[in-house]
Structure 1
């Protein structure tokens, strides 16, 4: 597909396309071990969008989802990569998801918690990454358990261990990686949510820009671009979202 050149000013009013990138979700974006440059599925998609718009790309790098969302909400960034959520959707127009990621619970081996249904009890404290998709989701869904917000998603298990909390909640792959480095932890056997990762642009940029971004995501999925990016970056456990 070709994006109408007249939309370039809606996407990049400063003349540069400012991409909001959250490094707090290493499944989608990280820094290259040698060069330190940003890399990952989100990075590849941002470059592809800039190429289609024929504009220069500028990175705005953040360590949490909340900061990344804020940058687009305040229009300091032109677009970003977020989990779809109604709170964020007040200002941001989301595409359909391009990747699906599972959210899981982590507990200690000796914990009496065996199923997801055991988590929402008044005596349980659940560590989440502040402002993350699962923070927003669990804030709505948990009626009895207390939510304890870690400063970022990668800090969730550290907060869980340091504060002797009962549950850690987060992206499956991040929890699995942390559990491999800390003895005595186990994940519950089923996901508590599916995180729908999408691209987003501020609603003030107009319906035409939002529609063009949505069409871009669909092309990236159907062409195999997203699947190839997941494979190229060695991402396991995330799947390409169905086309709409």
Structure 2
């Protein structure tokens, strides 16, 4: 397929596809032994660059908020984010390619047993600042207090240090933290399902946004996303269904 010069310029105005990678979500990205970013997000960026026939470069951040800012400001060409209306002001999202569970973690001695019990006066919920969980809970929580720490990886440590009632985050991260720290448990179920998508600056135009949407649908349909999840040993996430026409 021959790509138009306008499309290539929209995706890679510098001649290189610059991908912003959020290391704060361990399901989708991590640092490899060499120090370079790796994971499902990186695999998708490489595949997109191959189809565009351009080189790819990566800038990695420890928080979703910084990754979003980098794409919104056009210091990067694409990024990998949870779909959120606040972020959508400056970013054109695809449909989701992966669905991730957001869960609550408490101490074994906590009286809390159900997700519905968390939003009560006196409960304090620790979240990573600017994360999908922060954005969602900021809209939805009415009675509990939200407390923010610098990144999703630091949530459980800060929750313990500040002696809060609840920690919120991606299931896999919380399970790993609980396995390392005796006396913690996850509440059953989930409080949200995170729709993880790709995005690019809205200023890049409709042609690029449509191409990226079609790319995501193709990598879901072809099994590329499922293979990447399996290759990286990811549990707690599933391939999103096809977008509604």
Range into which the TM-score falls when normalised by the shorter chain: over 0.9
Q: How does 1:32-111 map to 2 (within 5 A)?
A: 32-33=32-33, 35-111=34-110
Name the TM-score, length of structure 1 as normaliser. Answer: 0.97
Q: By how many angstroms is 1:63 displaced? A: 0.7
Aligned residue number for residue 160 of structure 1: 159
SS of aligned partner of 2:41: helix
Q: 1:125 to 1:57 in 2, by over 3 A?
A: same
SS of aligned partner of 2:116: helix
Aligned residue number for residue 189 of structure 2: 190
Aligned residue number for residue 20 of structure 1: 20
Deviation above 6 Å: which 4+ runs of structure 1?
none
RMSD, matched Cα: 1.0
Aligned residue number for residue 225 of structure 1: 224
Aligned counterparts of 1:72 and 1:240: Cα–Cα separation in 2: 24
Q: By how many angstroms is 1:6 displaced? A: 3.5
Aligned residue number for residue 211 of structure 2: 212
Name the TM-score, length of structure 2 as normaliser. Answer: 0.97
Aligned counterparts of 1:4 and 1:20: Cα–Cα separation in 2: 24
Aligned residue number for residue 145 of structure 1: 144
Segments of structure 1 that go 5 or more residues without pairing to the other structure are none
Q: Which moved more, 1:54-63 or 1:96-105?
A: 54-63
Aligned residue number for residue 6 of structure 2: 6
**Which deviations, in whole Å up to 9, do the C-alpha atoms of 1:125-151 show, x marking residues without a partner?**
000010000100000000111101010
Segments of structure 2 that go 5 or more residues without pairing to the other structure are none
* Count of matched residue positions in the alignment of Structure 1 and Structure 2: 243
Aligned counterparts of 2:241 and 2:78: Cα–Cα separation in 1: 22
Q: 1:135 to 1:3 in 2, by over 3 A?
A: farther
Q: By how many angstroms is 1:60 displaced? A: 1.1
